[in-house]
A and B are shown apart, each in its own frame.
Chain A
Amino acid sequence: MKRQHWILLCIMILTLGVRLFYSLSEQEFSTGSSYFIVRQVEHIATTGAPMYHDALSVGGRIYSFSPLYVYVLSGFWLLSQHFMMLKIVSEILLILLIPLCYAVAYRLTKHMTTSLLIAAVAGFTPFLYLSTLNELTMYSLALPLHVYLIWIFMDIKKPRAIPMFIAGFMVLMLTHPSVFLFLAAAFLSMLLLWVADQPLVRREIELLAFSLFFGIWFHLILYKDVLLKAGVGFFWQNLPEYLLRNAYTGVNIFEMIYLIGVLPCLFAAFVFYRYLFREQGRNLYLLISYALVVLILLWLRLLPANVGLTFLSIVFVLMSAAPLKTLFELFPNMKSAVLTNLFTVLLIVIFFMSSLIPALYYADTKRAQAISPEELQGYAWMREHLPQDAVVASSREEGPLLNYYGIRSVVDPDFLLITDSSERYEKIRTLYHTTSITEALRIMQEFRITHILMSQRAQREYDMERLAYTQDPCFKLISTSGGYLYERVCILEERS
């Protein structure tokens, strides 16, 4: 093995070590949606098929999603049925980003130091810690696949590249619908090449044409029911209007710089300026297009802010390769060798540390969000003491958690295939905010809610301190572990 490969392996081990340190220091996951994945994994492990119908939601739920990620996890779940196994596999999948980023950077620059630095920074991209650490998310597999496709597409002229691309494309297609982000970026890069009067590679266009049609057809079949039911709302995941305003909110430039990191943003801006207006860089056009597509989608509010920023942070790091190489090439021209080395080391340290420090900060934040033992006690208590037909109102994040413990919930983060999602979510918000006992009872009866959970997560989501009507004899406090759990003991009867 060559020296650079050893270094790369060290970077991978170091990154994995840091991520696992934070991830495994907590027994539970940091997000409720991870428990949805766990339920799917358990279901696959027992039945061999994902759970597309879920009875633990009012009126039953039908899910639609690309299943590869949960299949991968369930394969390992068979080996050890412990959350730790899922966490390790998920982190290993994400760590694959590092060699792939190295490969892309090397293909762009043919400069080893730059490529290694890019690989190291990719492993410590701050926003990646906030969006993927200590949780089960399909992006753990989708992100490396995106970078893999970028890498293959940059050298599509090679004879083996086409089957490799198609294989990667199929795997990504089976993992996450974000495959269209790649297609949009690739088509935009073709357009940029055309505008720049550069020759278009025919096999690139042919490959993209096939990928586009096949990708659309596959997703039309996979999401047939969702498309028929949610219509155009599918593109916004059928999110309620209130959440849509928040999740898809436009990200301002300062916020973006803060979350992605100053240096990657600075370098990306330089690449935009230099390669869009002054120089031509065939491979860089693909990365520029990626960034442009994500930025446009964020601006048009067609992409959730957290997803957009996750992609942007990786693309900006990859784009940094070109200016970094230029900087590295400047140093040998200096008169003193000491100065050259000093500047090289300084650049590496500044670039790396500017990512590492915020990454560790976000890792700590994410770890603090993990489900606490008190909360777990609360769910366990509910599982033992609540009747089988109990329906608990909670925050969205707690929905999958309640389901994981066999308790029926009213809301969860997935709104696809929910009729009138806006109204449902608005009513649940009203249930938490209202001061009227009649209104609260009416909403509870409408959704057959028997209990209401007032936890810290609910306080955060609904932006309130306490329920206004719990002093009323219609509500009885039955548990305080992991939050206040109230039981409804009255029935509202309408009179003419």
Chain B
Amino acid sequence: MKRDALLFLLIPLLVCLLLSGTFIMLRYDTRLYSAESYHHVRMAHLIRAHGIPTYDPLTGQAYSFTPLHVLLAILPDKLYAFLPLALALISLLLLWGFSRNYLSAHHAALYCLLLVMSPVFLYFSLILSSTSLFLTCVLIAFFLLRQRTPLALLSFPLFILLAFFPIPYLFAMLALFVSAHLLFKRHRKRLGWAAALFICTALVFQFIQMLYVGIPKYDLPTPRLFLENSITEFGGLSSLGFFYYILAGIGIFVSLRMKKKYAWMYAGAFLLFALSYFYHSLLLLAALYLCYFVLIALGYLFRRAWQVSSLRTLTLFTIFCGSIFALTLFINQLTVLPPSPELLQTSSVLQHQQEGIILSDLETSTILASLTEYPIVIDLYPSYLMDKAGRRERIASIYRNFSLTATKDHLTALNVSYIVITPEMKEELWEDPDDGLLFLLRNTETFHRIANVSRIEVWEYLPVTG
């Protein structure tokens, strides 16, 4: 029986390994996935060179500590591409172990498979992110907490470590404690101690960090942005397919008959999903719960005796097709995830120029800062940036303005030396090739084109000439 269970476990593990592994190998040794990975790599290199900083020299804002940077600083660069996959596989193993307490071997395997097939899990198995490390640490910590006494003690250092993650993760941890409190019949005292230890450490650490770096200012998303980021069919990457949400809804409805049994699930799913509105990466944690509800819904649809059996077959086939469709869309998006090979070429062109501040879109700026080590106007994570709103206004004005005088004023104020225009910017920011900044770039001598690498244009700003 135990061997059968292990065989079932192999299915999601292999699927994860095959899917993520293929994508990693497609870019191995050349590019990482997403700008976020490049941001973490840059910070890790900074720590490796100068120890833990208080200030990020390339963005001009205070540095906020996260354990991932330390881990990356310790690891050799060659392993960066594989780290997310390794963390995903460990998490999967632990989740399987957890679910085996409540589910049969094949149901536990199906749960893991549903998770592996969800875009959000795949996404975090490819990019370097604090969320993947946080999830693995949380799972190990809770796994150890449920063991016999000497082993359980090992969980406490992990709970202390979890307190060093950025603020949104601390709220997620509280949500997980609430959920665990409702789930655990035994070990509640231990859980209480772990929570107390975590909260105290987090409070002390955050207090000290705030003294050094100030209070972070996170951008609040709009409901529309949240929906578009959370649903794969709307183009979201760390997201779940439409069918997953519908099935999760059915699962919640079906499980209401045993609401006491599933109270921990409702609490966890609701709190984490609500938190993911404010900090989108936390959708990965919410997905752990939502996939469980999807499993319940699928079980219900499978087991229920349908009056028209052909409708059951058709419905399940449609669900399967819909899930595959979401996965295909996600893979389609993944293949064009930055950086493109052209952006790498652009960065090497820039590296041959004199150092200067780069202006581009947020993702490109973040990647270029990591590749060239040149300063940038703003990156994807400006939580500690002074005058964030002012900078954004200036940037918007630069992109839209037809007046050279106004554009020059803004560029000088931001001390910009290079402007990098990507095809995505051309598509999203301007209607026409002769609109706003594009018009000025082409028709004045204030800007000099350094390179044009497959539609990525690099312009140098020459304030004196114009």
Contacts and interface: CB of A to CB of B under 8 A. Distances in A.
Contact of A203 (B308, B402, B446): B308
B431 A59 contact: yes
A210 B227 CA distance: 25
A420 B404 CA distance: 24
Contact of A494 (B235, B307, B322, B402): B402
A206 B325 CA distance: 23
A496 B307 contact: no
Nearest to A206: B311
Contacts of B312: 206
A338 interface: no
Contacts of A496: 403-405, 408, 444, 446, 466
Contact of A213 (B318, B408, B432, B439): B318
Contact of A232 (B228, B311, B432): B228
B280 to A, nearest CB: 14
Interface string A215-237: 01100110010011101110000
Interface string A272-284: 0000000000000
Contacts of A494: 402-404, 439-440, 443
Interface string B433-462: 011000110011010000000000000000
A56 B138 CA distance: 57
A233 to B, nearest CB: 8
Interface string A406-427: 0000000000000110011000
Given A162-B308, A206-B312, A227 B233 contact: yes
A202 B466 CA distance: 76
B431 A424 contact: yes
Given A228-B234, A419-B431, A214 B318 contact: yes
A224 B314 contact: no
Interface in A340-395: none
B224 interface: yes
Contact of B242 (A209, A220, A442): A220
B229 to A, nearest CB: 9
A472 interface: no
B227 A419 contact: no
Interface in B388-415: 402-405, 408
A231 B228 contact: yes
B54 interface: no
Contacts of B311: 162, 203, 206-207, 209-210
Given A232-B224, A232-B227, A213 B243 contact: yes
B439 to A, nearest CB: 7
Contacts of B405: 496
Interface of B: 224, 227-228, 233-235, 242-243, 246, 301, 306-308, 311-312, 314-315, 318-319, 321-322, 325, 329, 402-405, 408, 427-428, 431-432, 434-435, 439-440, 443-444, 446, 466
Interface of A: 59, 162, 202-203, 206-207, 209-210, 212-214, 216-217, 220-221, 224, 227-229, 231-233, 419-420, 423-424, 442, 445-448, 494-496
